[in-house]
Amino acid sequence: MTDAPSDRPVAGILWMVVSGLLFVFVNAGIKYLGPRVPAAEAAFLRYALGLVFLIPAIRPILNTRITRRQWGMIGTRGVLHAAGVAMWFFAMAQIPIADVTAINYLSPIFVTVGAALFLGETLAARRIAAVVIALIGAAIIIRPGLRAVETGHIAMVGTALLFAVSYMIAKRLSDELPPVVVVTMLSLSVAVALFPLAVAVWVPPDLETILILFGVALVATLGHFAMTMALRAAPITVTQPVTFLQLVWAVSLGYFVFDEAIDPYVLLGGGMIIAAVSFITFREAQVRRRAVTPPPQATKV
C-alpha cells in the first residue's frame, strides 16, 4: 500500500473481519476437496482459474517496462511461491485446519529473521525474544518427540518459510513496479510453475472439483480485496489483531464441519505465535519506520 490509511477504525475492523471469513471459506473449500485430486493439480487449477479475475490488469502490464533482473525476480518468486502453495494444499488435506492456520502465522516471523539476515534490518533483543517465543509456539503445536510428526506439519512449516521468501522478493519488486503488476505476475508465474507438476500427477477433475476450485479462486480474490480495503481504512495496528480471529474460526470450522478435535496445544502455540507477531508489528509502528515484517494476511494464497 502506498496510500496512508485513513482514520476509520470501525470500517477497517469490519473489512478485516470480512477478509478473515473469506479466507476461512478458502480453507474450507480446500479441506472439503481433500485428496480428491493431487495437491499440485489442485493448486494449479486454483491459480489458473483465478487468472480470469486478473484480466483488467493486462493493460497495466503491457504498459510497464520490466527489466531482465525484474523478470528473474518474478520467476524466482513464482517458483518458490508455487512450491509453497502446493505444500499448503497438501497440508490442508493431511492435518486439521487449525494446525494449518496457526503454523501459517510463522511467515511474518521468518520474514523478520530474513530481513535481518539479508536486508540489513536491525534485530533488537525484544524482537529476538519475540522470534524465540513464536518458534516455541510452533514446537508446542507440532510437539516433536511427544507424538509422531506428520508430513502435513512439515509441509506447512515449509510453506510458511517459502511464503516469507516470496514476500521479501515482493517488497523489492513493489519498490520498482506498480502493485497491480506485482500481484498479477505472481498469479501468472505460479500457474506456469505449477503446470508441469500438475501434469505429472494429473487426474481428470470432475465438474464439482472445478467449480469448487473456481469458487476458491473467487473467494480468495475477494478476501485480498477486503484486506486491501481494511488497510486503506485504518492503520495495521488496528486491523491486524482482527486477523487472528481466523484461528478461532478455523478451530470452529474444523470442529463443527469436519469433526476435528479441538487441540489445546494448537491454541496455546498459536496464541504464542500471534502474540509474537503482534509485538513485532506494534514495535515497528511505534518507531515509525518502513515495515518489512508483513501482516499474516499478506501471505495468503
Low-confidence ranges of the chain (pLDDT < 50): 1-2
pLDDT value, residue 4: 52
pLDDT value, residue 6: 62
Boundaries of every domain in the chain: 9-299
* 199-216 confidence digits (pLDDT tens): 999 999 999 999 999 999
Residue 221 grid coordinates: 480474490
Cα separation, 267 vs 255, in Å, equals 13
DSSP 147: B
pTM of the model: 0.84
pLDDT value, residue 292: 56
Question: How far are the Cα atoms of 162, 229, 231 from residue 225, in angstroms, in the given order?
Answer: 23, 6, 10
